[in-house]
Structure 1
Amino acid sequence: MSNNIKVIEIDGKQVEFKVTAATPLRYKEQFGKDYFQELSKLRILQKTLKSKKSDSEKLANVDFELFYNIAWVFAKTANKSISEPIEWLDGFNVFPMAEIIPQLQELIAISI
C-alpha cells in the first residue's frame, strides 16, 4: 500500500484515507477554509495538551470540528463516492477521535 493511503477500522468498518496534491483544494472547496491554516491549529492544540492546564481547560481549546473535517477530506480523497460530512459520520455509531487522529498524523505530515 502506498504511504499516502491508510486504512483504519472504525466501528467495525474498514475506512480508507488518502492524501494527494488536491487534498488542500478539496478541503477549501468543502469547508471554505484554508487547509494549511487549519493545520496550524493542530500545533496550538499540541502546545495546549502539553501545558499544565487542567483537563477541562485543555478540552475547551480543542476544535473537534477540525478533526472531523480532516478525517472526512482524507476519506473523500480516497473514496469519491462517500456522502457529505454529516451523513458520512452518521454512518458510524462511534468515531473515536482519540484513536483515529494519531493514525492520521502520518497523512497530515505527508500533505504538508
Structure 2
Amino acid sequence: MEITLTIDGKQIPFKSNGAVAKRYMMQFQRDLLKDILSMGATNKGFEEMEEGEKVSWMRENIDFNMFYDIAWTFAKTADNTIQDPLSWLESFDEFPILDIIEPLQSLLEKTIASKKK
C-alpha cells in the first residue's frame, strides 16, 4: 500500500510492504511491532475520538521520536534514495507530525494486520 502526503509543500510518498519491519530493525535496532504495540490500545478508534481526546491520548501514548522513525521507514520504503533519518527530517522547514499520524495509521494497520478472519 502506498500513500502520498504533502509535507512542507513537498509530495512525499509513504509505502508499506513486507520489508518495512526488517528495514526498521536494520536502521533503528528496535522491533517495529513491539514499538507499535507500546503505543497502547484505546477503546475507541482514533477517528471516533473528539479532538481533545486525540491530543490527550497521543500525549500519553505516543513516543514522537519513535513515530518520526516509523514515518522515515515508510518514506524510505517508498523512495530508497532518501537520506538517513536526521538528514531527511532536516530537509523540511516544517514537519507537522500531528498532521501525518492519522494518514499513516492505515499503513501501520496494513503492516501488522492479519488476513485471518
Q: Give the alignment's TM-score, normalised by structure 1.
A: 0.82
Q: Could you say which residue in structure 1 is the equivalent of 2:20?
A: 23
Number of positions where the alignment pairs a residue of Structure 1 with one of Structure 2 = 104
Q: Who is 2:63 aligned against?
A: 63
Q: What is the CA distance between 1:104 and its match in structure 2?
A: 0.4
Tell me: CA distance 1:107–1:63, structure 2 relative to 1, closer, same or farther (3 Å).
same
Question: In the superposition, relative to structure 1, how do residues 46 and 13 fare at CA in structure 2: closer, same or farther (>3 Å)?
Answer: farther
Which of residues 40, 64, 68 in structure 1 aligns to 2:37? 40
Q: Residue 41 of structure 1: CA displacement?
A: 1.8
Tell me how large the CA RMSD over aligned residues is.
Answer: 2.3
The worse-fitting range, judged by mean Cα deviation, of 62-71 and 7-16 is 62-71
Give the match's secondary structure for 2:82.
Answer: coil
Within 1, Cα distance between the matches of 2:33 and 2:61? 19
- Distance of 2:79 and 2:42 partners within structure 1: 29
1:13 corresponds in structure 2 to 10
* Structure 2: tracts of 5 or more residues without a match: 50-54, 113-117
Structure 1: runs of 5+ lacking an equivalent: none
DSSP-derived class of the 2:110 partner: helix
TM-score, normalised to structure 2, is 0.79
* Identical positions, percent: 39
Measure, in 2, the Cα distance between the counterparts of 1:109 and 1:82: 24
